[in-house]
Amino acid sequence: MKKRIVILISGRGSNMAAIAASAKSGILSDCCIVTAVVSNRSEAPGLELAGKSGIPAVVVESSGISGIEFDRKLTKAVEIFSPDYIILAGFMKVLGPVFISRFTGKIINIHPADTKLHRGLGGYEWAFKKRLGTTKVTVHFVDEGLDTGEILGQREVDLRG
């Protein structure tokens, strides 16, 4: 049985599009299906990409409400799709304890840095500021800390062009 994936985005949705395409007819097609894309920003271009791919797109706006209220609304919106996994693909909002405790062991983040060296926003900016020739992209489980969850995999990225 294919694993049900919900992808959370905040912007363009380039990682979401790659995951969705791979789940539809690529390397992930035997193991998973993207059942929904959820964004915290109604103007996120990735929502249109999801719609064009036939994936339900849902908005849970994060601006103008408290973190706990957003957490509860996001939890309800995602629960509808009964996900086996939730992938944060360019999701630029820190998840709160309500969401994390509800989906413990199911949330996976794509982080643009080596989480052993840099956590939080601005992974590429940090690497350029440090004048690094390479950095890493880290895929890890989400826990209550900021980019502190168990690392599932890392891949080196050349920053020199």
Burial class (CB in 10 A: 0-12, 13-18, 19+), 7: buried
Cβ pair 120, 41 in contact under 8 A: no
List Cβ neighbours of 14 (8 Å cut-off, separation of 6 or more).
46, 90
User: What is the identity of the amino acid at 66?
Assistant: S
| Gap between the Cα atoms of 64 and 108, Å rounded | 26
Q: 133 — phi, psi (to 5°)?
A: -80, -25
Confirm whether 140 is a catalytic residue: no
Which CA distances in Å does 118 have to 5, 105, 111, 140? 27, 22, 10, 14
Task: Give me the catalytic one of 93, 111, 118, 140.
Answer: 111
> Do 116 and 148 meet the contact criterion of CB atoms below 8 Å apart?
no
**Catalytic center residues:** 111
